């Protein structure tokens, strides 16, 4: 699994390598330059003798990396111009040492200490952005803003060193202007801000360069954000023994549906089966059962008492509990509607369910209404809210949730013991231990009615096959996004509907099992 570090976490790795192992900072800086050169060669080829490059440096270690890169370009025959956006005597340590070497090599250097509205880069093939590092906490200065604007105005290929200048390495915030890179080479480990909005929109193609920092196990364990990769998911998909029967792959009971919202229940049932679970039964209001039953013959149904408006009534309790006895996993919510009687049914039902529960959609709205329901929901439960549902459950403002989704998901998981899959771009999955998965798959085509119901069914399907709640949720989110990516590749994002995601689930499994990557 790929670690996604905060800037403080990355600093601890650097300090351990330098202070404990005695790896000189100059070696780390040289290795960083070599990692960037690898990317340059990948883009421009081995012969750089005709390459024109403009290298922009700041006063810190990021700028020191820039000076080392300029030297590497120069000795390979490139035409290099250096720009320092700071006083020359402000350079210290390894950055100064690399700048001094560039002086000795007589690489042209322009020093900029005041904002200049007329400053523009010479026409070039390559621009190296080594202005600001990952530790940004406020808007860039006026001087740096002018440099960033010059980079963004160029027609050259823009390659950012460690992170696009102006983007926070921890939060992805862009408090002022930032470089819009064509590619970014980050060092050692990926930084969170490279994957978080809005910063991820500035990164371009991302490469993580190995600069010889060892994998310190204790520091890796302390870093809580991860990103699943194809190989991780392939290793964790449930086994399918040749002698197995349908009972071996789990049974799911879905409490869902109401008049006018039958499709949500039907899609959950189908997604459960497409994900590999052996059997599924949808318990729904009697009047909508024929619609759900006709959607997929493989999905079993159970007619339950309903209100005059076609929502589940309190009288459904005993029959719903009977249906639950058969199952390994329970789903509550899709298409339930918001009848007060349905709230009372769920309040009575949940405390009597001693099985993992996945709550989504209207189930979350009932949860937001009822402190009794929140208290009754077990620590084995998974909830899958979008930002609005999360805000209603927690009482937070939706803007607060959108501003810090990772932190908010982690906080609620720690307080409740639930696994939280906070849907968005990207989706974060968090558990009570502090572990968080950032999901790399998915696309805007998922912004369509029913896609969340498909996700719920997929998570329940993995849970029924024996995955622990955190893994069922994280892998369900990954596979859901992968199916959406495959559907979008064929159909386009705008035309994609939730049913297309279901249809692409088998292709997602085939891609994982075949070792493919998008």
**How high is the pLDDT of residue 518?**
61
Averaged pLDDT, 112-136: 92
In tens, the pLDDT along 324-333 reads: 999 999 999 9
Averaged pLDDT, 66-92: 97
In tens, the pLDDT along 275-308 reads: 999 999 999 999 999 999 999 999 999 999 999 9
pLDDT exceeds cutoff 90 at 517 = no
Question: Which contacts (CB < 8 Å, 24+ apart) does range 87-92 have?
Answer: 87/59, 87/111, 87/113, 90/59, 91/59, 91/63, 91/64
Rounded Cα distance between 121 and 349, Å, is: 67
- 466 CB burial (10 A radius; 0-12, 13-18, 19+): middle
Residues 266 and 219 in one domain: no
Query: Does the residue 232 lie in any domain?
Result: no
Averaged pLDDT, 460-487: 98
Residues 350 and 298 in one domain: yes
Q: How confident is the model at residue 379 (pLDDT cuts 50, 70, 90)?
A: confident
pLDDT exceeds cutoff 70 at 393 = yes
Averaged pLDDT, 3-27: 94
More confident residue, 306 or 119: 306
* Sheet strand arrangement including 52-57: 109-111, 79-84, 52-57, 126-130, 157-161, 183-187, 205-209
In tens, the pLDDT along 232-263 reads: 999 999 888 899 899 889 999 999 999 999 99
Residues 109 and 64 in one domain: yes
Domain around 84: 2-223
In tens, the pLDDT along 159-170 reads: 999 999 999 999
Sequence-separated (6 or more) residues with CB below 8 Å from residue 218: none
**Contact (CB, 8 A) for 184 and 128:** no
**How high is the pLDDT of residue 58?**
97
pLDDT over 70 percentage in the chain: 100
Averaged pLDDT, 486-496: 97
Give me the number of domains the chain comprises. Answer: 2
**Contact (CB, 8 A) for 143 and 122:** no
Averaged pLDDT, 99-123: 93
**Which residue in the block uniquely carries the two structure tokens 């070696």?**
27
Residues 185 and 329 in one domain: no
Q: How confident is the model at residue 103 (pLDDT cuts 50, 70, 90)?
A: very high
CA distances from 259 to 97, 132, 287 (A): 73, 56, 7
Rounded Cα distance between 231 and 441, Å, is: 14
Longest distance between any two alpha carbons in the chain, whole Å: 87
pLDDT exceeds cutoff 90 at 137 = no
Residue 403's domain is classified under what CATH number?
3.40.1190.20
pLDDT exceeds cutoff 70 at 219 = yes
Residues 69 and 190 in one domain: yes
Residues 219 and 246 in one domain: no
**Mode of pairing for the β-strands spanning 157-161 and 183-187:** parallel
Residues 437 and 498 in one domain: yes
Among residues 119, 199, 202, 189, which one has the least CA distance to residue 159? 202
Query: Does the residue 436 lie in any domain?
Result: yes
Q: What is the mean pLDDT of the chain?
A: 96
Helix, strand counts (H, E) of the chain:
19, 19
């Amino acid at each position: 699994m790929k670690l996604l570090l905060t800037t403080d976490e990355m600093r601890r790795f650097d300090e351990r390598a330098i202070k404990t192992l005695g790896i000189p900072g100059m070696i780390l800086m040289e290795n960083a330059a070599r990692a960037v050169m690898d990317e340059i060669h990948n883009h421009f080829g081995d012969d750089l003798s005709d390459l024109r490059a403009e290298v922009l440096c700041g006063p810190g270690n990021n700028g020191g990396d820039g000076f080392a890169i300029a030297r590497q370009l120069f000795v390979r025959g490139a035409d290099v111009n250096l720009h320092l956006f700071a006083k020359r005597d402000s350079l210290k340590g390894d950055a100064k040492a690399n700048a001094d070497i560039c002086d000795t090599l007589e690489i042209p250097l322009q020093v900029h200490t005041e904002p200049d509205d007329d400053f523009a880069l010479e026409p070039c093939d390559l621009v190296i952005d080594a202005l600001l590092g990952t530790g940004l906490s406020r808007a860039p200065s006026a001087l740096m803003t002018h440099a960033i604007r010059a980079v963004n105005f160029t027609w050259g290929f823009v390659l950012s060193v460690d992170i696009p200048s102006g983007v926070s390495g921890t939060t992805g915030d862009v408090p002022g202007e930032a470089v819009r890179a064509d590619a970014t080479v980050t060092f050692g480990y990926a930084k969170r801000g490279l994957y978080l909005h809005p910063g991820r929109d500035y990164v371009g193609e991302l490469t993580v360069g190995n600069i010889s920092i060892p994998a310190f196990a204790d520091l890796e364990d302390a870093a809580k954000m991860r990103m699943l990769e194809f190989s991780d998911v392939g290793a964790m998909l449930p086994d399918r023994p040749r002698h197995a029967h349908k009972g071996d792959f789990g049974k799911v009971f879905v409490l869902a549906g109401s008049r006018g919202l039958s499709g949500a229940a039907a899609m959950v049932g189908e997604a459960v089966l497409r994900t590999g679970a052996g059997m599924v039964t949808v318990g729904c209001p009697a009047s909508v059962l024929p619609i759900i039953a006709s959607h997929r013959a493989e999905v079993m149904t159970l007619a339950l008492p309903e209100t005059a408006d076609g929502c589940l009534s309190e009288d459904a309790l005993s029959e719903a509990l009977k249906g639950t006895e058969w199952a390994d996993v329970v789903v509550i919510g899709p298409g339930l509607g918001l009848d007060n009687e349905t709230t009372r049914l769920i309040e009575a039902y949940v405390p009597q369910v001693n099985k993992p529960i996945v709550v989504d959609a209207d189930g979350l709205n009932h949860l937001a209404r009822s402190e009794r329901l929140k208290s009754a929901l077990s620590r084995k439960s998974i909830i899958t809210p979008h930002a609005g549902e999360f805000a209603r459950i927690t009482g937070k403002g939706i803007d607060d949730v959108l501003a810090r989704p990772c932190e908010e998901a982690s906080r609620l998981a720690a307080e409740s013991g639930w696994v939280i899959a906070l849907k968005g771009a990207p989706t974060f999955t968090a558990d009570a231990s502090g572990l968080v998965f950032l999901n790399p798959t998915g696309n805007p085509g998922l912004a369509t009615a029913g896609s969340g119901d498909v996700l719920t069914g997929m998570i329940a399907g993995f849970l029924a096959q024996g995955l622990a709640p955190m893994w069922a949720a994280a892998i369900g989110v990954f596979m859901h996004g992968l199916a959406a990516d495959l559907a979008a590749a064929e159909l386009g994002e705008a035309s994609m509907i939730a049913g297309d995601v279901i249809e692409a689930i088998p292709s997602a499994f085939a891609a994982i099992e075949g070792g493919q990557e998008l």
